[in-house]
Amino acid sequence: MSRIQTTFARLAAEGRKALIPYVTAGDPYADVTVELMHAMVAAGADVIELGVPFSDPMADGPVIQRASERALLKGISTADVLAMVRAFRQDDASTPVVLMGYANPVECFGPDRFVDDAKAAGVDGVLIVDYPPQECEAFAARLRAADMDAIFLLAPTSTDARMQEVGRIATGYVYYVSLKGVTGAGHLDTAAVAAMVPRIRAAVNVPVGVGFGIRDAATAVAVAQVSDAVVIGSRIIQLIENEPRERVPGVAAGFLREIRAALDTLQLQASSAGESA
């Protein structure tokens, strides 16, 4: 089992939901990412999604677009992102790290080399936004052969056929984009999420994470009630983008502790209900 699969199995046994923060590598300071990753784990993160900076992040809203631009202006490359993961692994051998990004940097790096170097760095999963499942079966197989997971997005517009195609090759978890729009958009419809997740579960046999539009403890809890994981990115980047370097890890950690505490109330409620029964 991959680290991602092991983590989700442990959380399921504990009756807990996964908290998955996203940050862009090299933002807001080139040398803060590894420290930030450790701080998020200490605050309760179960998996970290690390964004690979790209000049045209089509699925991302203005907050993450700005983060990518800032990182690229600092010269952060794919190789730099992998170096950050290697540095993180020096002190953390258990927390899964997922690289999230776009096809162009992978193709420029070379898909085979990317997989080999990601494995050597300690990456656990890869989510390439614009790799449709039917066009990257070889890439997904290469990841699996290296004990890494191929993670895919699903959206409110995904058809049953698309969900089944993703379910056929996805491992680790699937990431459900909870609304029609880009990262950071508002107006999260938790009722719509609750209606969609069972359809996804019928098509895939991996955990379902939900992201886009989750900005606080209340929305995180509402989403966690019907999913296996909560993914939060834009709100974290908003909180840290204008902070001085020394405050970045603490600000992110403080926010995540609130989310973690709120998510863990679901476990307490379930335990109390079981005892009452």
The two three-digit tokens of residue 272, written as one number: 């109390």
Strand partners, 257: none
Helix axes 217-224, 190-203, angle to 10 degrees: 40
Q: How far apart are CA 152 and CA 173, in angstroms?
A: 8
Q: How far apart are CA 182 and CA 217, in angstroms?
A: 20
- The active-site residue out of 27, 49, 149, 264 is 49
Cite the DSSP H helix spans in 170-240: 190-203, 217-224, 234-240
Burial of 176 (0-12, 13-18, 19+ CB in 10 A): buried
Burial code (b: 16+ CB inside 10 Å, e: under 16) for 52-83 equals bbbeebebbbebbbbbbbbbbeeebbbebbbb
8 A C-beta contact, residue 128 and residue 154: no
Strand partners, 132: none
- The active-site residue out of 60, 124, 165, 264 is 60
Q: How far apart are CA 95 and CA 129, in angstroms?
A: 22
Q: How far apart are CA 128 and CA 159, in angstroms?
A: 19
Q: Can 60 be counted among the known catalytic residues?
A: yes
Q: Can 258 be counted among the known catalytic residues?
A: no
Question: Catalytic residue numbers?
Answer: 49, 60
